[in-house]
Amino acid sequence: MIAAIPLLMSSRESLSRIAPAPGAFDGLSLPLAALAFAAALGLAAVLATRSAFARRPAPTWGCGGELTAEAEYTATAFSKPLMLIFGAIYRPTREVSTLETAPYYAREVRYRAEVEPTFERFVYRPATRGVLRLAERMRVIQAGSLHAYLGYVMALVLFLVVLLWWRG
């Protein structure tokens, strides 16, 4: 950092130039950010050169047991914490019913999970319903006679001419 100070002092105006214009609430220069990110990525690649060339493949650790596809974390499991935390909004329902039981274990279960589409129901659906209803109303003037439309255009032009004449 000390090495950069004399250079900075020699070009203070350049430092003021890189700052966003005074009074600006926020400035964003994605090329510059991408450049910084790419440089840092390069540093990471250099630091981990060893790992890029020398690597030993091994099976994924499965807690001592054999790791099968069933043990993989599913999307449902992944989002479960958020589902529980925001349970008041999502109102998740979960239903597990055992279909067949062998002597000790359930052999076949049916699982059903559902999430209440809160935002869909209370935000998006009223909005789309409103727009659709408005569109329904407007269809009356959509599918009319061509002559009437020409009449409307004529009336509009006349109205604008009169307006211009009256105001100017």
Partner 1 sequence: MSASLFPLPVALFAVAQALGFLLLAPLLRGLIKKMKAAFQLRQGPRLLQPYSDLAKLLRKEPVRSTTASWVFVAGPRVYFASAIAATTLLPTVFAAAPLEAAGGILLLVGLLALGRFALATAALDTGSPFGGMGASREMTVGALAEPALMLALFTAGLSAGSLNLGELVRRTAERGTSIHPGEILAAAALFIVLLAEAGRVPVDNPATHLELTMIHEAMVLEYSGADLALVEWASAVKELLFMTLLAGLFFPIGVATSLAPQALAISALALLAKVFALALMVVLVESTNAKLRFFRVPELMAVALGLGFLALAMRFF
| SS3 state at 95 | strand
Q: How far is the CB of 62 from partner 1 (least distance, A)?
A: 7
Distance of closest approach, residue 120 Cβ to partner 1, in angstroms: 20
Using CA atoms, how far apart are residues 65 and 59, in angstroms rounded to an integer?
Answer: 11
Q: What does the DSSP assignment read for 101-155?
A: E-SSSEEEEEEEEE---HHIIIIIHHHHHHHHHHHHHHHHHHTS-HHHHHHHHHH
- Please, which of residues 87-146 interact with partner 1 by CB under 8 A? none
C-alpha 145 chain-centroid distance = 44
Which range in 1-9, 105-113, 150-158, 159-167 contacts partner 1 by CB under 8 A?
Answer: 1-9
Helix (H, G, I), strand (E, B) or coil at 161: helix
**Under the criterion CB under 8 A, does residue 32 sit at the interface with partner 1?**
yes
Site string for partner 1, 40-79 (x = CB under 8 A): xx-xxx-xxxxxx-xxxxxxxxxx---x-x-xxx---xxx
**Residue 54 or 102: which CB sits closer to partner 1?**
54
20, 27 contact by CB (below 8 A): yes
- Cα–Cα distance measured from residue 160 to residue 152, given in angstroms and rounded to the nearest whole number: 12
Total of residues contacting partner 1 (CB under 8 A): 65
Nearer to partner 1, 26 or 95 (CB): 26
User: How far apart are CB 97 and partner 1 at their closest, in Å?
Assistant: 25
**Residue 85 or 153 having the CB closest to partner 1:** 85
In the complex, what is the shortest distance from the CB of residue 14 to partner 1, in angstroms, rounded to a whole number?
4
d(CA 80, CA 94) in angstroms, rounded, equals 11
- Do residues 91 and 118 touch, judged by C-beta distance below 8 A? yes
| Footprint on this chain of partner 1 (rule: CB under 8 A) | 1, 3-5, 7-12, 14-15, 17-20, 24-33, 35-41, 43-45, 47-52, 54-63, 67, 69, 71-73, 77-82, 84-85
